[in-house]
Amino acid sequence: MNGASREALATARESLDALTDNTSVDVAKLAEELAAVTALLNREVSLRRVLTDPAQAGEAKAELAGRLLRGQVGGETVDLISGMVRSRWSRSRDLVDSVEELAASAELTVAQRADALDDVEDELFRFGRIIDSAKDLRSALTDKSAPASAKGELLRSLLGGKANPVTERLVVRLVTQPRGRSLEAGLESLSKLAAARRDRMVAVVTSAVPLTDEQKQRLGAGLARIYGRQMHLNLDVDPEVLGGISVRVGGEIINGSIAERLDEAARRMAG
């Protein structure tokens, strides 16, 4: 992607991360809806051209996307797509590619929440090796004359119950909606996304008052040193935290709040 599209995609990734870091969001549903929007934009060339037309105001494009999608997909998906079409894109196809990437990233987040991301990454790799060695299978899955539904059923018979559901959904979408890519290129892209997601950790930070930019930078840098990986901060404000902060990384809690210290003191006194 060229400059404008790269910037737009980076912004969209941040918006997706903000959504998927919220445990109340149904990320599997979000992924399914983003995949449906990808199919719509890929099919409706004139629509995606309108939504990426630099001569049109961003807000007007966002309103159009909202009218088309509202009632068909959830509010999170509408907001995400509306934000994307407000951005400037170098090519209309870049918008479709980016929505498709967000759909795959959301699926990988589902696996990450279930502590199964390593399994999915390994299964994608192993499926690629199977495709390399099973020429008849590759031919069946890439046959342009074969209906997508038949390819999907074949894959479900092969992967159902044997692979993680996220792996199955990703591969089925790749095969049934190739969008001009080779199967090998699509699998490689998915593997790269999985690797990038695996190297990213999320810290849920709760504080009594909002942190300053300097505090966020210092905290992020400190956590990155501790865990040796890139750290995304998901910030929350809770007035009941009397001071300090509480940080949760995965199942580990680093609690430095005054409230926790008072509770600990009370427990010691009672003991």
Average pLDDT along the chain: 88
Q: How far is CA 40 from the centre of its chain?
A: 19
* Total-model pTM: 0.74
CA angle 238, 240, 244 (to 5 degrees): 75
More confident residue, 264 or 152: 152
* Sign, CA torsion 40/45/47/50: positive
For 179-215, what is each residue's pLDDT tens digit?
Answer: 888 999 999 899 888 878 877 666 778 888 888 888 8
Lowest average pLDDT, out of 41-45, 62-66, 129-133, goes to 129-133
Nearest CA to 216 out of 197, 237, 199 is that of 237
User: What does the DSSP 8-state code read for residue 212?
Assistant: P
* 179/164 Cα distance (integer angstroms): 24
With 90 as the cut, is the pLDDT of residue 156 above it? Answer: yes
For 91-143, what is each residue's pLDDT tens digit?
Answer: 999 999 999 999 999 999 999 989 899 899 889 988 998 998 899 999 999 99
* Sign, CA torsion 20/24/28/29: negative
- pLDDT for res 92: 94
